[in-house]
Amino acid sequence: MQAIVERDRERYTPMMRLFLGLMGAQVALSVIWGGHAGILEQSLSQLPEEQLQDLQTLVGRPLDEFYEIFGTIAGFLQPLFVGVFTAFSVLALQMMGPKRSLSVNLNLMFAVLNAGSIIGVVLMLPQTQLGLPFAISLSLVMLGYFQAFFRGMPVSIVGTGAKRWGYSLLMTVLLIVLIFVGGIVMNITALFGAYIWP
């Protein structure tokens, strides 16, 4: 990450480009394994039959069709919402260390985000096909964020010792909260989009 701070384009690839590539892979894999449509269907399958009939009446189409529309919309919105919401972590990063440009801070945060995204993509198969508990997946992604921040950030930004541990923990929790909030907003938007779809 020192190359990002030094703005040495010969030694790093812009992290936003890598993030978009990882999100594309995640969307493609989620479509192969049922995607957001499968997740919604699995969540709603717990409801009693009467409530499912009420839901079908409310949305005005067969539930399978509603699930598919939702899945398509959510698949396209996920990279956008995750990227936008996690970009807010730059505001916290700007308060650490010497003043840096917005583009440097964005690249630093997306470098951290890419570490968790790689772990998330790798865990998609065990989580969707082998029943890996969500808590374990979340813990591993958080560990990826923490390690990327703790080991990757230059000393000039986060210091050493307890300060480094504290900043790394703070940014890990902040990223997870932003991802959850982005996910909630994305799901609500996709549900509304599927509801009003012609």
- Three-class secondary structure assignment of 136-154: HHHHHHHHHHHHHHHHHCC
Residue 146: pLDDT band by 50, 70, 90 thresholds?
very high
Residue 9: pLDDT band by 50, 70, 90 thresholds?
confident
At 151-164, the pLDDT tens digits run: 988 888 888 999 99
Q: Residue 144 pLDDT more than 90?
A: yes
Predicted pLDDT at 33: 67
- Summary mean pLDDT of the chain: 87
Residue 34: pLDDT band by 50, 70, 90 thresholds?
low
Compute the distance between CA of residue 174 and CA of residue 87 in angstroms, rounded to an integer: 11
Indicate the pTM of the whole model. Answer: 0.82
DSSP per residue, the chain:
-HHHHTT-TTS---HHHHHHHHHHHHHHHHHHTTHHHHHHHHHHTTS-HHHHHHHHHHHTS-HHHHHHHHHHHHHHHHHHHHHHHHHTHHHHHTTSSS---HHHHHHHHHHHHHHHHHHHHHHHHHHHHS---HHHHHHHHHHHHHHHHHHHS-HHHH-SHHHHHHHHHHHHHHHHHHHHHHHHHHHHHHHHHHHH--
